[in-house]
Amino acid sequence: MSVSNIRYRRLGYLALNVSDLERSRAFYTDVLGLTDDGAGGTDRVYLRCSDKHHDLLLVRGDVPGVKRAAWQMESRDALEAARAHFAEIGLAPRAVDAAECRDLGIEEAFRISEPTTGVTFEFYATMAELAPFVPSHTDIQRLGHIVLSSTDRPATEAFLREHMNFRVSDRVDNIVSFMRCFPNPLHHSLGVGGGTRIGLNHVNFMVSNIDDIGRAYHRVKANGVKIVYGPGRHPPSDSIFLYFLDPDGMTVEYSFGMEEFPEVGAREARLLPAKLESLDSWAAVPDPEFGKHGEIERLPAESAA
């Protein structure tokens, strides 16, 4: 089946492993502004910034980092196109069992291990809807994106382009590729950064106005949260940003504004020079802790039949 039939609605949700579930729940609700509807039990917490069942899943784990990233497909046909293509290239898609799907609020899903980083990607078509999200201190628009670090950035980018129907919006030479899950219009739902480690760089939540960034700057400082980059403005996406650390040292971003691409007639990807000004037009310098923490949990080996 053609890769062009693999079409996305959005970055559906992220699942993060955290060392102290209650501490992280408090951070992501009280400091970040997500809603906790009380679901999940003793080993996990479902949080949201939309009317969907969840946008962020926190799971108690010994090694903080990315458990998986989940993509909501445009339709059931797009879901099946992805499943068929991944099976054809030997990735052995794994169905998520019915009980787990019920817990996640989704009808059907499968997972693969991305071959260049080992990150788990989940794919589904529909998720249960709840009451509208009611903002607290921050008017969060959506879960925006995730950026991963890869020891072979060109290979990771190539897999996403050739086998997942992602499109490159921009590159900063030898540093990062910004990619969108086609035909979602946002400049990037996934970034791939180069580096000496495979792991999480950061997770992003988009906010509704620049005042959310300003208030966050003072709020996170008042709560003893370390700011590691910004405020600033990203030239590739034209987003205003602020990065800070969660309780496990994983980097979280608030951003306001982002370039959007039409499905037809989109501009070509740009190649920006490898310099700090390509990442921030306000000339902020990232802290050494920026994007340094968060491991990748790999899919366990399947047991023999």
Q: DSSP label at 244?
A: E
pLDDT score, position 41: 82
Find the mean pLDDT for residues 294-303.
Answer: 88
More confident residue, 39 or 50: 50
Res. 40 pLDDT band, cuts 50 70 90: confident
Token pair of 226 as six digits: 């370390």
Kindly give, in sequence order, each residue whose CB lies less than 8 Å from that of residue 236, ignoring residues fewer than 6 positions away. 169, 170, 172, 178, 187, 270, 272, 278, 279
- The single residue listed with the structure tokens 């201190």 is 137
pLDDT-derived band of residue 303, with 50, 70 and 90 as boundaries? low
By the 10 Å C-beta count (0-12 exposed, 13-18 middle, 19+ buried), 48 is classed as buried
Beta strands 227-234 and 176-181 are unpaired
**Domains of the chain, residue spans:** 3-124, 141-295
Give this prediction's pTM.
0.96
Question: In CATH, what is the architecture of 141-295?
Answer: Roll (3.10)
The per-residue pLDDT for 301 is 81
Convert the pLDDT of each residue in 82-124 to its tens digit. 999 999 999 999 999 999 999 999 999 999 999 999 999 999 9
Q: Is the pLDDT of residue 178 over 70?
A: yes
Integer angstrom CA distances of residue 196 from 55, 63, 78, 151, 153 = 29, 19, 34, 5, 10
Provide the pLDDT for residue 305: 44
**Is residue 1 scored above 70 in pLDDT?**
no
Whether the pLDDT of residue 6 is over 50: the answer is: yes
Q: For 3-124, which CATH superfamily applies?
A: 2,3-Dihydroxybiphenyl 1,2-Dioxygenase, domain 1 (3.10.180.10)
SS3 172: strand
Are 197 and 294 in contact by the 8 Å Cβ rule? The answer is no
Q: Which two tokens stand for residue 115?
A: 């071959």
- Cβ neighbours of residue 183 closer than 8 Å, sequence gap 6 or more: 7, 8, 74, 263
Q: Does position 78 have pLDDT exceeding 90, yes or no?
A: yes
Residue 304, pLDDT > 70, answer no
Of all residues in the chain, the percent with pLDDT exceeding 70 is 99
Nearest to 148 by CA among 138, 139, 159: 159
Which residue is it, tokens 């399947």? 302
Backbone torsions φ then ψ of 96, nearest 5 degrees: -85, 130
Q: What residue type is assigned to position 230 of the chain?
A: G
Q: How far is CA 109 from CA 54, 65, 78, 113, 235, in A?
A: 15, 22, 12, 14, 36
